[in-house]
Amino acid sequence: MSISKIIIRAPAQYARAYLYTEHDENDLTYFIDYNIKCLELALENMQSYIERKVKEKHNLYHLIQYENINPRQANILRSLIVDNKKGFTISEVQNQNGVVYQTARTDLMGLQDLGYLKEKKFGKKLIFFKADDFEEKLNRILAQTPIN
């Protein structure tokens, strides 16, 4: 729970609570009330973050189940959902997952065969990017498995 982020977003409210406290014979009610509101907002933010992560994990579970992909491939897809401009090389996937080159290559080629990735060659290096219809394909599959 990051309370400081909430205070930074509205510094005038913080200053006002502080000034009201000073001008009202050091009555801390204003300052305490402001901090309680900050705590409530921080708690709401944390709850929405947890809900988002649970939904993300649930979606990845269904992708693994429906598409018959492995957890490494699911993590690649998750990375693309978070950062749609991300590219992957075989070496990066190899290092991130602690697997041999061939396993990393098979993971990426498998996602390409399923239509999630497209490859582009830069010199001798292959870089895999999100396919043009990535979102449509993902949404079609997730629509087949309802989220609780």
Q: Are 134 and 80 in contact (CB under 8 A)?
A: yes
**Would you state the pLDDT for residue 90?**
95
Angle between helix axes 134-143 and 29-67 (nearest 10 degrees) is 90
Return the higher-pLDDT residue of 62 and 91: 91
Which residue, chain included where needed, has tokens 């992909």?
69
* CA–CA distances in Å: residue 136 to residues 22, 39, 115: 57, 38, 11
95: its two tokens: 């290092």
pLDDT > 70: percent of the chain: 96
**Would you state the pLDDT for residue 107?**
95
Return the higher-pLDDT residue of 46 and 4: 46
Q: How confident is the model at residue 145 (pLDDT cuts 50, 70, 90)?
A: low
In this prediction, residues 133-141 reach a mean pLDDT of 82
Secondary structure E strands in the chain: 88-89, 117-122, 125-130
What are the tens digits of pLDDT across the range 104-115? 999 999 999 988
